[in-house]
Structure 1
Amino acid sequence: MNDDSTPSRRTTDVVSTHSVCGAPCWVSLTSRDLEATEEFYQAVLGWEWRSAKLGDRFRIALADGAPVAGIAAVASMWQMAVAWTPYFAVPSADEAVSRVQERGGTAAVGPISFPPGRAALLADRDGATFGIWEGELFTDWETWRKAAPAFIRLHTRDAFDAAIFYGEVLDWASELPGCCEVRYEANEVVLRSHGEVVARIESGALEAAPDPTIRPHWQIHFRVADVAACARAAEAHGGSVLRESPAEAILRDADGAQFTVTSRQER
């Protein structure tokens, strides 16, 4: 979770994770080369950049002036994989980490303090990496949703089993205010927050597959106006196209991180 809060924002404008319990609230990328990462995503997604309070290895991506993602050039230093990671809003990071460990998942990092909140980097029991965030959101959730990912998708071994794991960890379909709705539709699990599709879970990934695109993982889908233009820009700036259709393309950035661009409007 890589951002700094806006000092001029009024206290009455602050939105916390309690209002969107269990929903995706941020995405973060670990990379090796910060300058190359900035150049790539500016070319492909049109992002601009600002510094973060965490230091010169961190940047905040802006779309139309709104914070949409964090970039951390720490993959080599911290011996972490180059990858996009979704973060989910929780009322208590400590409690969420305990729930993950009790249910066979693992805690890689944290919880640790990243003012204005606390974060942890975790893995579910099939090895898919995700994060949790407790505290103040960096921008209004509705604003972030309009400018940021269209949705996220978990490719996993068993969608139903994964939905139970995440539901118990993140209080999906609970009595908590703002909790997410979970439904089984067309052979996949669909997660909605405030009536909007924010995540999907599908079966089919293989737990020990040698290809990382087949192993269980969360895939970030960014909504764009022109899928083909994004794919060409990715190729021109050192990335690659793994799969492409008129409505969607799976891309790999110059550092190796995988993500999807889509023109689809989720409903």
Structure 2
Amino acid sequence: MNFENLIYEVDDQLAIITINRPKKLNALNKETIQELHDAFAEADADEDIGVIILTGSGEKAFVAGADISEFANFEEEEGALLARKGQKILFDFIENLSTPVIAAINGFALGGGLELAMAAHIRIASHNARMGLPETSLGLIPGYGGTQRLPQLVGKGRAFEMIMTAGMIDADRAFQSGLVNHVTSQEELMALAEKIAGKILNNSGVAIATAIQAVNAGFKPGVNGYDAEIEGFGASFATEDFKEGTTAFLEKRKPEFPGN
């Protein structure tokens, strides 16, 4: 599949998706959002791919926000539709993907860019990264899940401050707040992402997909996360990966998971 605004690469069991609009600081427009959906769907459908890394091109920005020119003249219904459609085809889609996603934040991650990173399962940042939700400075609120995922990650008080002040925080503050898992140099960012991906690839992809479902269940209204965990735990016993994992453990060897 060819993309206008993305670079899609596959290296063995790893897919790397790079948002490639450096002149626009990789800002999200409708076309890029749709292409991201298509790229993630393609990677998730590929049984050989076990981890997806998402990053931005250039050295300035992961994603500097949404393309404001596309919605500056929208009315109320158009705005609601924009958020609903975007959440469905990209942000919620990534969060619930069965393939783990690592966001490698290589610069500004603002507005929709930070919301995109927060939809990933793991976030790492370079020292020059700056993160924030500046929507209230435009008379808006975050519309791609920012008011929900940010409190889950950093707590209600810190989320309120970031949203109300529309300010940015640096990578170290993001790490201290729990917004990102690791901070490293820009030169080492992708290497660290690939190192984490390698550790993930050592384990059962079937079990990881089930764990993603169970963790996410605990944050869904009306869903009992503990019940989801129990069901997933039980279902694991019927998989070939469970049989291989336990057999390898007892035989004191490295498992070779069949992926089913």
TM-score by length of 1: 0.29
Larger relative contact order, structure 1 or 2 (CA cutoff 8 Å, min sep 6): 1
TM-score by length of 2: 0.29
Larger radius of gyration: 2
